[in-house]
């Protein structure tokens, strides 16, 4: 039985498709479209009570949370895991959790604030400063390295892809203000496995050339 990915358009599940393509594992996609309010459809609750994506099914197991899915796939294949050097391995674990634990919350908050219109205007500068602090740190953190954990692609890069793509869309990340991060995004977008994941996953507005 192949892996099954419950995939919501324009969501975190796109990076799981990318990882599976990098690992060259066979998988099946179950597609779900966002509602008019941009929320996940009720049908996802039939897969898992939280009604969120991604959800991975494998051999009777149902796994949620991108980081847990990345860990599971690394364990399953022995690939894209932490580098052997201790400091690089610590960076791997750091970014595996940082992507959702620290970077995504202010990016999500920026989306909510924009939807609030005039009511959200007073807090926009604060949210912008929060995001800029993260991006400025990441810009220096990845300087001199091609990948977040070291000299090769890893699950840490898979996890960092969605928030940094969202930062391009929501926070103005570009090759002028954060050239190292922009170059990293260009590297992942140029990978054949990434292109295959886009082709299979369907429209994904966060990917840019």
In the chain, the number of structural domains is 2
Q: Are 133 and 180 found together in one domain?
A: yes
Phi, psi for 28 (deg, rounded to 5): -115, 140
Q: Which residues contact 164 (CB under 8 A, 6 or more apart)?
A: 103, 138, 173, 181, 184, 185
Report the pLDDT value the prediction gives residue 209, as an integer from 0 to 100: 41
Closest to 21 (Cα-Cα) out of 105, 79, 75, 101: 79
Longest alpha-carbon distance in the chain: 52
Q: Are 120 and 137 found together in one domain?
A: yes
Q: Are 98 and 50 found together in one domain?
A: no
Asked if 55 contacts 44 with a C-beta cutoff of 8 angstroms, the reply is: yes
Q: Are 102 and 12 found together in one domain?
A: no
Q: Are 113 and 172 found together in one domain?
A: yes
Q: Are 25 and 43 found together in one domain?
A: yes
On whether residue 157 sits in a domain, the answer given is yes
CATH label of the domain that carries residue 162? 1.20.1050.10
| 152, two tokens | 């090769």
Least confident of 85-89, 114-118, 126-130, 192-196: 114-118
Q: Residue 170: is its pLDDT beyond 70?
A: yes
Residue 27 pairs in a beta bridge with 3
CATH label of the domain that carries residue 10? 3.40.30.10
On whether residue 27 sits in a domain, the answer given is yes
The pLDDT tens digits for 65-108 are 999 999 999 999 999 999 999 999 999 999 999 999 999 999 99
Closest to 131 (Cα-Cα) out of 122, 121, 139: 139
Average pLDDT over residues 24-51: 87
Domain that holds residue 147: 86-191
CB burial of 39-59 (b: ≥16 within 10 Å; e: otherwise) equals ebeeebeebeeebbbbbbbbe
The pLDDT tens digits for 176-189 are 999 999 999 999 99
On whether residue 128 sits in a domain, the answer given is yes
Q: Are 108 and 65 found together in one domain?
A: no
Q: Residue 39: is its pLDDT beyond 80?
A: no
Residue 56 pairs in a beta bridge with 5, 63
On whether residue 56 sits in a domain, the answer given is yes
On whether residue 207 sits in a domain, the answer given is no
Q: Where residue 207 falls among pLDDT bands split at 50, 70, 90?
A: low
For the chain, what is the mean pLDDT?
92
């Amino acid at each position: 039985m192949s892996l099954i990915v419950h995939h919501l358009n324009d969501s975190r599940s796109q990076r799981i498709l990318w990882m599976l393509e990098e690992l060259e594992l066979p998988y099946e996609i179950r597609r779900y479209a966002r509602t008019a309010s941009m929320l996940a459809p009720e049908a996802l609750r039939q897969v898992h009570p939280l009604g969120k994506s991604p959800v991975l099914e494998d051999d009777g197991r149902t796994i949620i949370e991108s980081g847990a899915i990345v860990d599971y796939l690394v364990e399953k294949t022995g690939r894209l895991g932490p580098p052997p050097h201790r400091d690089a391995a610590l960076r791997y674990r750091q970014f595996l959790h940082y992507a959702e634990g620290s970077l995504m919350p202010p990016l999500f908050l920026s989306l909510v604030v924009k939807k609030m219109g005039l009511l959200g205007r007073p807090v926009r500068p604060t949210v912008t400063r929060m995001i800029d602090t993260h991006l400025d740190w990441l810009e220096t953190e990845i300087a001199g390295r091609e990948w977040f954990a070291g000299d090769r692609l890893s699950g840490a890069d898979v996890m960092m892809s969605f928030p940094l793509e969202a930062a391009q869309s929501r926070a103005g990340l570009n090759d002028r203000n954060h050239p190292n991060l922009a170059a990293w995004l260009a590297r992942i977008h140029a990978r054949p496995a990434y292109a295959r994941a886009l082709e299979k996953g369907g429209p994904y507005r966060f990917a840019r050339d």
